[in-house]
Amino acid sequence: MAYELKMRIWRGDAEGGDLADFTVEVSEGEVVLDALHRVQATQAGDLAIRWNCKAGKCGSCSAEINGRPRLLCMTRLSDFEPTETITVTPMRTFPVVRDLVTDVSFNYRKARELPYADLGPRDDDGKRRMAQVDVERGQEFRKCIECFLCQNVCHVVRDHEDNKQHFAGPRFFLRYAELDMHPLDRNDRRKLAQEQAGLGMCNITKCCTEVCPEGIHITDNAIIPMKERVADRKYDPLVWLGNKIGIRNKDTDSRTEV
Ligand code: SF4
Ligand code: SF4
Ligand code: FES
């Protein structure tokens, strides 16, 4: 069944902009990205939208729909009343390039701050081995499609531009946790997560988990365990003694300079 959908779409650039009203014909079963493409095809040929896969896998069509961070290609029109106006705005935490496209390079800079996995020497037969349970633990974290919706919703940076310098955000806490739980990685991610990535600024509101399109339990399975690991390190009597007398403990202190 086709019907006329009312949309409000943010149009503008880094200098500023405003919401523009459109009415577009849509069909039951379509997604918000379909409706935007029809607006682009019929009424606003220069409307800027970033997208790639239209299958919830590339992570590029992130925006805010009625104020909620979502993927445009995975948000069904049937989630809304046919008479409801759908408002689409760019992610608020990142600078606007044009219309619905934002500059997400903040995330790439944070990714570069993370040291690579330092896996140490191979076994005599040239292989590396780890327990199946350790392989499986990281699987959930590797589902991340880097849509950055979790980064967008996190209040630590959403309303506080100044915090961006010292805070990596939930997507990267996920990565710190994945590598810290890797049995072969020899970096001390706990120290880095706390001192470099600002893990202590996260107050476990779980907003990041709520918007993750991959259903990753960011807070429960990555952030909280990582905070516990940081606390273990901080209150480890051997680390405390080592710090007091000025020696570095090989097993408990950072092994890679970054
Ligand atoms: S749980 Fe932490 S990282 Fe996630 S949104 Fe809240 S403050 Fe940000
Ligand atoms: S953790 Fe989830 S919300 Fe965050 S970037 Fe990855 S897929 Fe997106
Ligand atoms: S277009 Fe790839 S996730 Fe939406």
Render pLDDT for 128-177 as a digit per residue (tens, 0 to 9).
999 999 989 899 999 999 999 999 999 999 999 999 999 999 999 999 99
pLDDT at site 256: 33
**What global pTM score does this model have?**
0.89
Compute the average pLDDT of residues 119-129. 93
pLDDT tops 90 at residue 251: no
| Domain at 2-102, CATH class | alpha beta
CA–CA dist 186, 181 (Å, integer): 10
Domain ranges across the chain: 2-102, 105-245
How far is the centre of ligand 3, averaged over its atoms, from the C-alpha of 76 (Å)?
A: 13
Does the beta carbon of 69 sit less than 6 angstroms from any atom of ligand 1? no
CA–CA dist 197, 50 (Å, integer): 28
Neighbour tally for 172: CB within 10 Å = 22
Instruction: Ligand 2, residue 208: give the atom nearest the CA.
Output: 3
In this structure, which residue's CA is closest to atom 2 in ligand 2? 212
CA distances to 57, 59, 92 from 49, rounded to whole Å, are 16, 13, 15
pLDDT at site 44: 98
Site to substitute for ligand 3 among 30, 32, 36, 73, most atoms within 8 A of C-beta: 73
How far is the centre of ligand 2, averaged over its atoms, from the C-alpha of 152 (Å)?
A: 10
At residue 66, what is the residue type?
N
CA–CA dist 163, 165 (Å, integer): 5
pLDDT at site 258: 27
Does the beta carbon of 231 sit less than 6 angstroms from any atom of ligand 3? no
Does the beta carbon of 32 sit less than 6 angstroms from any atom of ligand 3? no
CA–CA dist 213, 36 (Å, integer): 20
Backbone dihedral region of 131: left (phi > 0), alpha (psi from -120 to 50 degrees) or beta?
beta
In this structure, which residue's CA is closest to atom 5 in ligand 1? 154
Q: Which stretches within the chain are classed as H helix? A: 32-42, 105-113, 132-139, 149-153, 155-158, 170-180, 189-195, 207-211, 224-234, 237-245
Partnered with residue 88 across adjacent β-strands are: 9, 65
Neighbour tally for 189: CB within 10 Å = 27
CA–CA dist 206, 153 (Å, integer): 10
Least distant ligand from the CA of 217: 2
pLDDT at site 28: 87
pLDDT tops 70 at residue 1: yes
CA distances to 70, 71, 127, 159 from 212, rounded to whole Å, are 8, 10, 35, 19
CA distances to 99, 223, 224 from 206, rounded to whole Å, are 29, 10, 10
CA distances to 167, 168, 233, 254 from 195, rounded to whole Å, are 10, 11, 13, 12
How far is the centre of ligand 1, averaged over its atoms, from the C-alpha of 193 (Å)?
A: 14
pLDDT at site 255: 34
pLDDT at site 249: 42
Ligand 2: which residues within 6 Å by Cβ? 144-150, 171, 174, 211-214, 216, 218
| Domain at 105-245, CATH class | mainly alpha
Give the pLDDT band (50/70/90) at residue 252: very low
Q: Over pLDDT 90: what percentage of the chain?
A: 84
pLDDT tops 80 at residue 244: no
How far is the centre of ligand 3, averaged over its atoms, from the C-alpha of 51 (Å)?
A: 5
Contact of 149 with 143, CB cutoff 8 Å: no
Higher pLDDT, 244 or 12: 12
Q: Over pLDDT 70: what percentage of the chain?
A: 90
pLDDT tops 70 at residue 123: yes
Compute the average pLDDT of residues 82-93. 97
How far is the centre of ligand 1, averaged over its atoms, from the C-alpha of 206 (Å)?
A: 6
How far is the centre of ligand 2, averaged over its atoms, from the C-alpha of 228 (Å)?
A: 22
Compute the average pLDDT of residues 193-206. 95
Contact of 157 with 167, CB cutoff 8 Å: yes
In this structure, which residue's CA is closest to atom 1 in ligand 1? 204
